[in-house]
Amino acid sequence: MQTVLVTGGAGYIGAHACKALARAGFQPVSFDNLSTGWAEAVKFGPFVQGDLMNRADLDAAFARYRPVAVMHFAALSLVGDSMTDPGRYWRVNIGSALNLIAAALDAGCLNFVFSSTCATYGDQDGVLLDEHSVQRPINAYGASKRAIEDMLNNFSASHGLNRVIFRYFNVAGADPEGDLGEQHRPETHLIPLMLDAIEGRRPALTLHGTDYPTPDGTCLRDYVHVSDLVDAHVLGLGWLLDGKGNAEFNLGSGRGFSVREVIAASTAVTNRTVPVVEGPRRAGDAAALVSGSTRAVEVLGWKPRYPDLADMIRHAYEWGQKPGFSK
């Protein structure tokens, strides 16, 4: 059985990726320092508690498991935090990626699937973003991800590293079978915050800005189901193992929803009212980010199973009715 090292494998997306890899016949090895992940989410393969900033931890994991590829999800990823403390994002995201790439190359592991972000495109209102859109990030999170993309391209040219880059939009939902769900510390994503407000786990959902140049004044985002997202990553792994070379793909639905539209969809799905308060804009937030790419479908063969926002909210809501991971 071929092994894949999954950094951030105890986190929201990484854990779902491990389940998808195991279902596809791979052994996922979760590498995580548990700073934001959950040990209880590691259910589908071995767990290595280690730090990407510690090269010895990485070397030991590569020596023990001999992975054929890396899936790199682990990163600092809070836009607002990256605006107030950009140095931490440059230091941690870039430093850990460089350590990981160097360890992989030294171990002879030349296949790398990278979790990038639509934040590399910055704020381009009215533009459907595809893989050829100009990348001009407006926050340190997006800038650090863009820098790692450049790093991968450099090592591809110099050391023969094969890479697939996924730039994805807002990830939402939960495992439809109920094994995994979204639970961050702290929680910053719209749908779980909204559901927390419905359940009384927080007083209200805050609308961060109501004066954006969008139809209803709230930010517009493209949502992709987490299970569909990780299916694409497994296809990207197959792409590399089949020797098809370097590639990059956007992952989104091609449709944008405003925050108010997501709230309305949640009310329809749950038949519960979302308590809302209005607040100021957050620094670094783009007005609209929507994917116009069909390349993942046409070239990679990606077939999203849950493209409807209602399904994403329903699966997240069902997960929220179950006991979450212990803190």
The answer to whether the beta carbons of residues 266 and 182 sit under 8 Å apart is: no
- Please identify which residue in the block is written with the tokens 């070379």: 245
Map residue 315 onto helix, strand or coil: helix
Active site residues: 141
DSSP letter at 281? P
| Region of residue 176 (left: phi > 0; alpha: psi -120 to 50; beta: else) | alpha
The answer to whether the beta carbons of residues 218 and 210 sit under 8 Å apart is: yes
- The pTM of this model reads 0.93
The CA–CA distances, whole Å, from 117 to 58, 135, 143, 170, 214 equal 24, 11, 10, 9, 22
207 & 316 share domain? yes
163 & 282 share domain? no
> Does residue 176 belong to any structural domain of this protein?
no
The answer to whether the beta carbons of residues 89 and 30 sit under 8 Å apart is: no
212 & 229 share domain? no
132 & 211 share domain? no
278 & 211 share domain? yes
133 & 205 share domain? no
The one-digit pLDDT tens for each residue of the chain (327 residues) are 999 999 999 999 999 999 999 999 999 999 999 998 999 999 999 999 999 999 999 999 999 999 999 999 999 987 778 889 999 999 999 999 999 999 999 999 999 999 999 999 988 766 789 999 999 999 999 999 999 999 999 999 999 999 999 999 999 999 999 999 888 777 778 898 888 899 888 899 899 999 999 999 999 999 999 999 999 999 999 999 999 999 999 999 989 999 999 999 999 999 999 999 999 998 878 888 889 879 999 999 999 999 999 999 999 999 888 766 543
| Residue-number span of the structural domain to which 63 is assigned | 3-171+223-251
> Does residue 154 belong to any structural domain of this protein?
yes
Buried b (16+ CB within 10 A) or exposed e, 141-179: bbbbbbbbbebbeebbeeeebbbbbbbbbbbbbbbeeee
